[in-house]
Amino acid sequence: MDDAKATSGESGRSYKRLFLNTLTFAIGSFGSKLLVLILVPLYTSSLTPGEYGTVDLITQTANLLIPIFTLTVSEAALRFGLDARELSSRREVYTLCLRILTVGLFALLLVMPAISMLGYLEGYAPLLYIYVWTSSLRQLNMTFVRAVEKVRLFALDGVLCTLTMLLLNILLLPGLKLGILGYLLAIILSDALSSVFLFFAGGLYRFVGLKIDRGQLRPMLKYCVPMIPATVLWLVTSVSDHFMVTYFYGEEQNGILVVAYKIPMILTTVFTMFSQAWNMSAISENSSSERERLYTDIFSMSCSFMFILAAGILLFIKPVLWLWVDGEYFIAYKYAPILTVATVFTCFNVFLGSVYIAQKKTKHTFYTSLAAGLSNIVLNLLLIPRFGIFGAATATLISYLGAFLYRLIDTRRLIRFDYSRPRLIISTLLILIMSVIVALDFSAGLRYGLLAALFLAVAAVNIGELIRVALIVAPERIKNRLKPLGRLISRQGGLEDKNGRA
């Protein structure tokens, strides 16, 4: 009995630590992620669809270059930084990461003349290089601050970076009317200021050494190098549709696609806050006796929450876009629903990827990313010429769904967590039906009546799981009040996993 109590106490502490870390990361991330959504009206009023499509291609190019030329070193900074407990060990990790970053970005400088030949980069290649530098350095510093568990500083930096980004955008776009140049400068300057702030406020200068430990270099490279193609292929899955839509239909149609992607960003914004904390928990709890139970509970809770949130977004997509963007962008409502469903599975893939991170099985990340990337490219080539933006959105959904199914099977070979298959299937079908209804044009009253009914169905299927997990982290007084409600919803839902959990 004492062992059971100890196990329960250990489990409760794990959940509460995860909850507190998620709350802290939410403070740091929410402002910056929300800002991206808030700035959409400013961007759509300051940039034409063609200009918006061009800046998207530039930033997507930077996102592809960063993992290639930095060797995804920020991922190693988190994994090995969390393992390192002494100052000397942390200095070895951070110094190695800085060296790898510097060498990689110098190599990028050598190939920039070739990259600058891309038509949409005309006049912007130097800014692209600086963008990659500042973004890479900020990623490393943010990750290492998390690795040394200075999560409050991480949160403060997120708030300050949000304010800086907001002020710079207002100054450079509607103020100085710099267009594409202003858009890029705002990101570069905010990333640079954030990097400097983290370096000094986080005391990262204490982790800079003159010597490198070659014995540490090999395992770090073994960990992060397989993640280069994996990260690139995963990015290809998300950006190839932008490049192909531009190729077949031009920058203006890509501008519409960019806006269509902004609605699902609500999902990724919320999930990113959680996943940053979860990755730390997955690593620290990797040898815990409660590992399988923790994964079961958190995966089930994450799925239920994301399904309900996605259904809520689908319910309000059209009115939100009508209020949010200029009229020439409103057509994005036809494509945002299917991208919202695709984003749900993107988030699930990120969660399952934490299994590979915790187990140091990054080769598995590569295999799933390769399958998703190749299938996305093939589907884009088949569907975009015929169906345009809708074809791109459909290709993205199929690719992410396929990657999720593969990862779900593969990760359960490494950590035997449970999940409710009926709940997963029913919830997926319900939000797919909602996405089709949103995209079709018919009576508004009938449309919103159907959407509201489907939203309630999604909530009914998933709410019991949220209450069950909430009971684990809630204070005893609240637990006692919620338990009868949780049992009632679980019995009515009837969607239990094989261990009897709703």
pLDDT in tens, the chain (502 residues): 444 444 444 555 566 666 666 666 666 566 566 677 778 888 888 888 889 889 988 998 999 899 999 988 888 888 788 777 677 788 888 989 999 999 999 999 999 999 999 888 988 999 999 999 999 999 999 989 988 888 789 888 988 888 899 899 999 999 899 999 999 999 999 999 999 999 999 999 999 887 777 777 888 888 887 778 777 777 777 788 888 999 999 888 988 998 898 888 888 878 877 776 666 665 565 555 667 887 888 888 889 999 999 999 999 998 888 888 777 888 999 999 999 999 999 999 988 988 887 777 777 877 888 888 889 999 999 999 999 999 999 999 999 999 999 999 999 988 888 889 999 999 999 999 999 999 887 788 898 999 999 999 999 999 988 887 777 665 555 556 655 655 555 554 445 544 444 4
Question: Closest by alpha carbon to 492, among 461, 466, 468, 469?
Answer: 461
- DSSP state letters, 138-162: HHHHHHHHHHTT-HHHHHHHHHHHH
Are 502 and 464 in contact by the 8 Å Cβ rule? The answer is: yes
Question: Closest by alpha carbon to 320, among 267, 389, 253, 260?
Answer: 260
Provide the whole-model pTM: 0.74
Number of other CB atoms surrounding residue 158 within 10 Å:
22
Q: Which two tokens stand for residue 164?
A: 């800086």
Burial class (CB in 10 A: 0-12, 13-18, 19+), 471: middle
